Amino acid sequence: MSEGSAVGPGRVTLIPERRGRQGAPPMTSANSRTASQTAFAGRLSRNLIPRHACFLLLMVATVAWFWRPLATVVSLSLQYGRYAHYSHIVLIPLISLYLLYLNRRAIFATVEYTPWPGVFLITIGVAWSWLISALAPEQHDYLSPAMFSMVTACWGAFLLCYGIQAFRKASFGLLLLLFMVPIPPFLLQAIIGFLQRASTEATGLLFGLLDVPVFRQGFVFVLPGITIEVTEACSGIRSGLALLITSLVAGHLFLGSTWTKLTLVLAIVPLTIVKNAVRIVVLSLLASYVHPSFITDSVLHRNGGIPLFFVSLGALVAIVWLLRRFEARLGYRG
């Protein structure tokens, strides 16, 4: 029986060849297996070309329809300052595409057109974006629901072209697109407020451990020769989001248990708080005992978070390693 495919109504499941041709001995050598796998991969690619073309056309149409909010979000993500927490958005589609490519054989092993669920999601996304564009009084109030509508339309396009089974296997990469949706203002303020308060408490604790003479009133610390305030800009929301996304991807790639993945994600909260507190304390001590410019106008103040972010990434790698060892000790196999 030669290599072929099982074809149902609108469904393609490729089956690799298992026996040699009639009258020929079974292929058992490494070279024969490699040739069979290569032929199977070629057949797989040829069968997927029309679906990829359909998906690409739908994505072009989606981008065209959502161009206004998409262009605004990309523009804001490239700015520094007030909208620094948007900076991860431009990288999310690239990460999602990489994850889909990494698992492409499993995802596209069984594909089928599912027009009704796909068209339903696309319609919901387009109709919702049209409605909120008419109702949203402020442009930035419109961005979050508009980008969520775009992500919904992208899910619908994938579902239409590749089917439910492929969608399930690609679910992590597709759900990661939710990070393209700007955090709604009310939720963003709550997160920033929590990080600001937690960072302030951690800063006070570090000052106490270092036996630094300091007077505290709310978010304000008075040190010898200088007064500092832990503002919302010190919350570390941008690096916190970057660490959160990194932890999710690392957990997906390197961990198998739901509990270890959840532990890795939860570790981001104290890691972000401690990183912020260390930065605030170091800058405060330099400003108090060396020169005030360290906290008013210095490269260390503007860019000091970058080296600390890489230190946090190192800590994240260490946590992943420990969790993998924990899984191995428990005999978990993903």
Digit-coded pLDDT (tens) for 203-221: 999 988 988 888 888 889 9
On whether both 166 and 235 belong to a single domain, the answer is no
- Read off the pTM: 0.81
Of 182, 201, 227, the residue that ends a domain is: 182
Q: Please, which residues have CB within 8 angstroms of residue 8's CB and are 6 or more apart in sequence?
A: 112
Residue 260 has pLDDT above 80, yes or no: yes
Least confident range of 149-158, 170-179, 294-303: 294-303
Backbone dihedral angles phi then psi of residue 7, each to the nearest 5 degrees: -115, 120
On whether both 130 and 217 belong to a single domain, the answer is no
Query: Would 3 be classed as within a structural domain?
Result: no
On whether both 222 and 126 belong to a single domain, the answer is no
Domain that holds residue 65: 48-182
Query: Would 294 be classed as within a structural domain?
Result: yes
On whether both 157 and 225 belong to a single domain, the answer is no
C-alpha span between 183 and 187 (Å, rounded)? 7
| Token reading at 257 | 């248990």
On whether both 158 and 192 belong to a single domain, the answer is no
On whether both 207 and 297 belong to a single domain, the answer is yes
- Mean pLDDT, rounded, for 252-273: 93
Query: Would 42 be classed as within a structural domain?
Result: no
Give the torsion sign (CA, 125, 128, 133, 134): positive
pLDDT in tens, 89-106: 889 999 999 999 999 999
Query: Would 23 be classed as within a structural domain?
Result: no
Residue 271 has pLDDT above 90, yes or no: yes
Q: What's the pLDDT band for 107 if we cut at 50, 70, 90?
A: very high
On whether both 93 and 146 belong to a single domain, the answer is yes
Query: Would 69 be classed as within a structural domain?
Result: yes
On whether both 196 and 169 belong to a single domain, the answer is no
Which carries the bigger pLDDT value, residue 54 or residue 12?
Answer: 54
pLDDT at 20: 46
On whether both 167 and 220 belong to a single domain, the answer is no
Query: Would 1 be classed as within a structural domain?
Result: no
Query: Would 125 be classed as within a structural domain?
Result: yes
Overall domain count for the chain: 2
pLDDT at 21: 45
On whether both 195 and 225 belong to a single domain, the answer is yes
C-alpha span between 221 and 146 (Å, rounded)? 41
pLDDT at 4: 43
Of 150, 182, 214, the residue that ends a domain is: 182
On whether both 80 and 106 belong to a single domain, the answer is yes
C-alpha span between 317 and 321 (Å, rounded)? 6
On whether both 173 and 113 belong to a single domain, the answer is yes
